C-alpha cells in the first residue's frame, strides 16, 4: 500500500502541534466551529501555525462558514487547506481562497451519490460519522461508522480521507477496509478535548505506518 497522509486534528497548543509533527503527521487541523470543544480562535491558531515547519500542512476546519470569514481566517492563520464539515452545497465550493476537502457524514441511509456529487469541485472528500438521530455535531464524535458503506468509494474519487472514531487500536483495520489516501484523527488520540495524549499520538502514527506494509 502507498504512503498514507495523516492529519491530526483539533490542535489547540504549540506543544500538541509539534508532538504531532515529531510523531510523523503530515498535517495538523485547527477547528473554527464555535460549538466544538476543540475550537481555537484565529489568533491562537496563527501562533501555533508559526511554530510548524514548512512541510506540514495547516488545515482549517469550518462548518457552514461564510466566504468572507473563511478568507479572513485563511490569511490570518496562514492556512494551506480547507476542510468543510457543514451542509455546504456543491456550488458553494467554487472560488474558495484555498483548495478544500468536503466532509460527508456516513450513517443510516448513506449512498455513494451523497459523496460523489462533490467530486470534481473539491480537492478530495472526507468520510466521517453520522450518529443515528444526530443533527448537530458535524464531526469529532469519537464513534466509527460502518466502513463497508464506503469500501468502493476510493476508486471513484481523486482523494479520500477517512475520519470518524479512528484510534490506535482500530486504524489498521479501518485502512484495510477502506484503503483511503489519508486518515484524520482527533478524539482518538486525546487525553481530554483539545489536548493530545503523546503515547496515543505516537501509537496512532505507528499503526498507520504498519498498515502501509500490508500488500
Element (H, E) at 48: helix 42-49
Residue 31 phi, psi (nearest 5): -95, 120
Measured in degrees and rounded to the nearest 5, phi and psi for residue 10 equal 75, 30
Helix orientation angle between 14-23 and 198-212, rounded to the nearest 10 degrees: 30
Q: How far is CA 59 from CA 27, 28, 73, 179, in A?
A: 7, 6, 11, 22
Of 41, 128, 146, 169, catalytic: 128
| Among 73, 65, 81, residue whose Cα is nearest residue 40 | 73
The verdict on whether 51 is a catalytic residue reads: no
Radius of gyration of the chain (CA): 16
Cβ atoms 179, 3 nearer than 8 A: no
Q: Which helix (H) or strand (E) holds 65?
A: none
Catalytic status, residue 128: yes
Residue for grid cell 496512532: 204
The catalytic position among 9, 16, 26, 184 is 9
* Active site members: 9, 128
Amino acid at each position: 500500500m502507498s504512503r498514507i497522509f495523516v492529519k491530526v486534528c483539533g490542535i489547540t497548543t504549540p506543544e500538541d502541534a509539534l508532538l504531532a509533527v515529531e510523531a510523523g503527521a503530515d498535517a495538523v487541523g485547527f477547528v473554527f466551529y464555535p460549538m466544538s470543544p476543540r475550537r481555537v480562535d484565529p489568533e491562537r491558531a496563527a501562533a501555533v501555525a508559526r511554530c510548524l515547519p514548512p512541510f506540514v500542512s495547516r488545515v482549517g476546519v469550518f462548518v457552514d462558514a461564510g466566504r468572507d470569514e473563511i478568507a479572513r481566517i485563511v490569511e490570518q492563520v496562514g492556512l494551506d487547506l480547507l476542510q468543510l464539515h457543514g451542509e455546504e452545497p456543491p456550488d458553494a465550493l467554487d472560488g474558495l481562497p484555498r483548495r478544500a476537502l468536503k466532509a460527508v457524514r456516513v450513517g443510516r441511509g448513506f449512498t455513494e451519490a451523497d459523496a460523489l456529487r462533490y467530486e470534481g469541485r473539491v480537492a478530495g472528500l472526507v468520510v466521517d460519522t453520522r450518529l443515528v438521530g444526530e443533527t448537530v455535531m458535524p464531526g469529532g464524535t469519537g464513534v466509527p461508522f460502518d466502513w463497508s458503506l464506503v469500501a468502493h468509494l476510493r476508486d471513484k474519487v481523486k482523494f479520500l480521507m477517512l475520519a470518524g472514531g479512528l484510534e490506535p487500536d482500530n486504524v489498521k483495520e479501518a485502512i484495510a477496509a477502506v484503503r483511503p489516501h489519508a486518515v484524520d484523527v482527533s478524539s482518538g488520540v486525546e487525553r481530554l478535548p483539545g489536548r493530545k495524549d503523546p503515547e496515543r499520538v505516537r501509537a496512532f502514527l505507528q499503526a498507520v505506518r504498519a498498515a502501509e506494509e500490508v500488500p
